[in-house]
Amino acid sequence: MSLSAQWVDYPTPGIPRTTDGKPNLAAPAPKMADGKPDLSGIWEVGRTDKLRPAVFDISTRVPGGMPLRPEYAEIVKQRAPFDSPLRATEPKANCLPLGLVLDLYDGLNKFVQTPGLLIVMKEYNKGYRQIFLDGRPFPEDPDPAWDGYSVGHWDGDTLVVETIGLNGKSWLDIHGHPITDAAKVTERYHRKDFGHMTMTITVDDPKAYTKPWTLTLEKVLKTDTELLDYICAENEKDVKHIKGANDAGKNAK
């Protein structure tokens, strides 16, 4: 497990506060000039015992478990053990992008919203993601990428984001659950009040799963702080330990 720290004691402008100066996260959600909800801010998944295990095994958060096709269930079975040769290929351990789904619940994301574009700034590896809100269609042939190609539209006060064009290289969790290049991911963001947002992710990936499945998470606003540099490869220690565990496991057989 890693330890992380943020800047502190720098008040976030425009935050409603209680009489004692603390952020009032229960205040009404802010609006854009056009009346649409403003999702801007630094967000993280609420850190509870029920949520954190999803980083390791996403099936703990999916009702009924993951409907894996047999061939992909076998891939997960091979990836999951720490003495497996495939363990050292985990993208996160190799400082590669987290991918669309894992990035949403493992780390801080800063949303910067304009009427036609939502930019997601990622603390991990100083990455970014663009969600187009200007009504454009999907491209005819999207260039496959870790985060794919995302377009969004409003359903009342809920932002619906659809993504295609994933490259199929990411893992959904450390356990090794896959997402392939055939997947379409639909996210729904609803800012309930100033400091709380419900996020629902539906993955429709007919190559790896027998049916679509849905994950629901609660996001909490981080105030009076900022994103910091988090360059994974700068002090990466995982791979050599994972390879050492692999070797130990092979030698024990």
DSSP states of 99-140: -HHHHHHSS-EEEEEETTEEEEEESBTT-EEEEE-S-PPPPS
Side-chain half-sphere CA neighbours of 171 within 13 A: 27
pLDDT of residue 253: 46
pLDDT beneath 70, residues of the chain: 1-9, 47-55, 105, 242-253
Give residue 223's identity as a one-letter amino acid code. T
**Token match 């997402």: residue?**
179
How, if at all, do strands 109-114 and 128-132 pair?
unpaired
pLDDT of residue 233: 85
pLDDT of residue 100: 83
- In residues, how long is the chain? 253
pLDDT of residue 193: 97
pLDDT of residue 245: 57
Q: What is the pTM of this model?
A: 0.88
pLDDT of residue 246: 58
